[in-house]
Amino acid sequence: MAQRRVVKDLTILRTPSNNTTSTNEIRRTCGIDASRTTKCPQPTQGHTDERL
């Protein structure tokens, strides 16, 4: 059940209107649930071949 909650939160945070807020909240969610989840998507970390 915990994993489903994380997925729901990440889906809700993907709102184009609150782009900056969503990035910060995703980091907060990842920081809290990092011990339970195996991998956490980081918005700052892209492909190694891709320049930001």
pLDDT score, position 9: 55
pLDDT score, position 26: 62
Residues with pLDDT less than 50, the chain:
1, 34
- Could you give the CA distance from residue 5 to residue 51 in angstroms, rounded to a whole number? 32
pLDDT score, position 43: 60
In contact, 42 and 30? CB cutoff 8 Å:
yes
- CA-to-CA dists, residue 40 to 2, 17, 33, 46, angstroms: 14, 22, 9, 13
